[in-house]
Structure 1
Amino acid sequence: MKKYILFLFAFIMANCSKDNYSEQSTLESKIVVEGWIEEGDFAQVLLSSSIPVTDVIDSTSVLDHVIRSAKITISDGQTSEVLRVKNDKNRVPPFVYFGSVVKGVEGKEYSLKIEYLNRVIEAKTTIPKSVSLISAEYIKTNPADTIGYVFVKFDDPISEKNFYQIATKIDSVEPVFVPAFYGNLDDKNFKESSISMQLNRGILLFPKADYTPYFTDGDLIHVKLRTQNKDALDFWNSWQNEIVNAKNPIYPSNTSLKSNIKGALGIWAGYGQSTIVVKTPAKK
C-alpha cells in the first residue's frame, strides 16, 4: 500500500514560526503531540520533534524527527497504563503509541503524561456525549458523473452545548480519519437543530498538489461525526486556517497553532463518535 505523510505533523513542525528564520533555526526543538481517545476505543498518540522552518520536509526528514523512546502514561483517575509503540507501515511516520487497557468512556476525564529526556509534558481532556449520525449519502450532481459529495444529517441536541468535527476515511486508501474541510462546527452557528450539510474531503497528504474536495465512484467511505471540546475545536480551526493561508501567496502563514498541551505543541483530545459507512457505485 502507498505510504503517507500525515499532513498535521509535516505542517505543524514547519510552521511554529516564520517571522524570523535565523532565530527559528537556533531555537530548541519542540515536541509535537497529536493524541486522542475516542468513546469505546483506546488512546493513540503520535510524537515528533519540530523541524526548523528552513529544513526540507520529506519522508526521510520526518522519520528523523519521530520520537519512539518516550514514556507515555494515560489515566482515567482510577486506572493508568503506559502506552506501547507499534509500527504501522501504512503511515509515515509509521510509529504510533497505543493503549489497550484504558478505554474511552463518555464523561470521563483522561490525563496524558509524556516523559522524554528531561522534559515532562502534560494535558487533560474529557470525552463529550456522542451525537448520532442520522444518515450519510453519496450524491452526484449529474448521474453520469464519476465524482460526488457526501451529505450528512444529524440532530443537534437543543439543551446541550456541542462542538463537532466531521471526518472521513476512504477504505484501503487512507489509514486514518481525515477532518473534512470546514468540518469543525460550533452549534452556536446552527439556525436550527436539524442539520444537513455537504462534506468537502479533507487533506491527508503533504504535499497535496492534486487536492480535490469530492469523492469518486469506487470509494468505500467511512464517515464519522465526532463531538469534541472547545480546545480541540480551536486547535483544528487554527490548523485549517494554516492550511488555507499556506496555500495563499498573498497572505503567507505566520501564526502558531492553538494547543492544549503543557510543555509542547499539539492536541490531546477526547471524542464522542458516531460512524456510518457509505458505499459508492463501482468504478467503471
Structure 2
Amino acid sequence: MKKYILLLLTLIIVSCSKDNFNEQINQESKIVVEGWIEEDDFAQVLLSTNIPVTNVIDSTNILDHVIRSAKVTLSDGQTSEILRVKNDKNRVPPFVYFGSIIKGKAGKEYSLKIEYLDHVINAVTTIPKSVPLQNVEYVKSNPTDTTGYVLVKFDDPVNEKNYYQVATRIDEKEPVFVPALYGNLDDKNFQQSSVEMQFSRGILLFPKKKYTPYFTDGDVIYVKLRTQNKDALYFWNSWQNEIVNSKNPIYPSTTSLKTNIKGGLGIWAGYGQSTLILKTAPIK
C-alpha cells in the first residue's frame, strides 16, 4: 500500500486512555473532517476520530480511528445526495466518502451534514471562480543538479479579492494533490497582477521515502492552482505553521488550528482549479 496522504486525523490529539477509548468517543472525542469539492468535480470527504495522545501513531493504528459508517449528506440548495464510501488502496487511510451526482460549480454554495453515533456535524462552503495557470516550469539552482522546484505563473484578476493554494502531485508516486510548501497565498501580498512564484514540494505524513523539499529529474508533476475561501486559507496556514514551526505534524498545538466545521474539527472547502502537467528534465 502506498503510504501517501495528507492526514488531518493525526493533527488533533485528545488526552484519554486506550482502555476506555470506545466510551470516550461519545464523551470527549471529536470528529475530524477533511472534505472538498472542486469546480467541475465531485465531493470527497475523509472522516476520523481524533487520536488519543497515549497511542503510538502509525499507518496501522490510524485505521482504528477511521469512520466508515457515517451518513454524509451533500446539498447545493436544490439537490441532495448521500455520499458513498469506497476503498482506495492507494491511500492511508483507504476509505473515502465520495459524491457522484452533484458536481461543483463556481459561485454555488455547498452544505455538508455528517451524522455519526450521537454526533451531528455541519459545514458550508462556496466554490470561488477559477483562475487559469498561464505556465509552469521546472527550475534548478544549478544546471548540474538532479533536483529542482516548480515555477508557477498566473494573472491575478484586477479588482477581485482572491486566495490561492498551489498543490502538486507526482505521477505514479502520489495519489493525491499535496499543498506546496508555503503554497497558500493572499493576493494582498502581490506586487502586481502578473504573478510568478517558485514552490517546493509539500510535506506528506507517512511517506514511502524520506521527505525532501525538491522535485526530481524524471518526475511528471501535475501542478494545480486552486482558488479558495478565506476560511480554507486560514485553516491551511495554521496547519502549515504547526508543521514548519514545531517540525512535528503528529502532535501539533490544537488551539491554533482553524476550522469551519460546526460540531467537529477540520475543513470543508470549495475550490476553483486550474491544472497543468509538467515534465521535468530526463534522467541522465
TM-score over 0.5 (shorter chain): yes
The CA deviation at 1:142 is 2.2
Confirm or deny: 8 A CA contact 1:5 1:59 kept in the other structure.
Answer: no
Change (3 A) 1:84 1:35: same
SS in 1 for 2:11: helix
Q: Gaps (5+ residues) in structure 2? A: none
The residue aligned with 1:92 is 92
Q: Within 2, Cα distance between the matches of 1:86 and 1:234?
A: 29
Instruction: Spell out, residue by residue over 1:212-265, the C-alpha distance to the aligned partner (whole angstroms, 9 max, x if none).
Output: 2110011100000000000000000000011112217xxx74634100000000
Q: How does 1:214-233 map to 2 (within 5 A)?
A: 214-233=214-233
- The code of the aligned residue for 2:72 comes to I
The residue aligned with 2:264 is 264
Q: Within 2, Cα distance between the matches of 1:115 and 1:280?
A: 45
The residue aligned with 1:45 is 45
1:139 aligns with 2:146: no
Q: Gaps (5+ residues) in structure 1? A: none
Instruction: Spell out, residue by residue over 1:190-221, the C-alpha distance to the aligned partner (whole angstroms, 9 max, x if none).
Output: 11111100011101223788322110011100
Q: TM-score, normalised by structure 1?
A: 0.91
Percent sequence identity over aligned pairs: 73
Confirm or deny: 8 A CA contact 2:148 2:214 kept in the other structure.
Answer: yes
1:176 aligns with 2:166: no
- The code of the aligned residue for 1:87 comes to N
Q: Within 2, Cα distance between the matches of 1:58 and 1:184?
A: 28
Q: Within 2, Cα distance between the matches of 1:49 and 1:168?
A: 27
Q: TM-score, normalised by structure 2?
A: 0.91
Confirm or deny: 8 A CA contact 2:169 2:223 kept in the other structure.
Answer: yes
1:124 aligns with 2:111: no
- The code of the aligned residue for 2:11 comes to I
Confirm or deny: 8 A CA contact 2:34 2:46 kept in the other structure.
Answer: yes
Confirm or deny: 8 A CA contact 1:121 1:263 kept in the other structure.
Answer: yes
Q: Within 2, Cα distance between the matches of 1:278 and 1:215?
A: 11
The CA deviation at 1:3 is 1.8
- The code of the aligned residue for 1:3 comes to K
The residue aligned with 2:12 is 13
Confirm or deny: 8 A CA contact 2:37 2:104 kept in the other structure.
Answer: yes
Change (3 A) 1:150 1:268: same
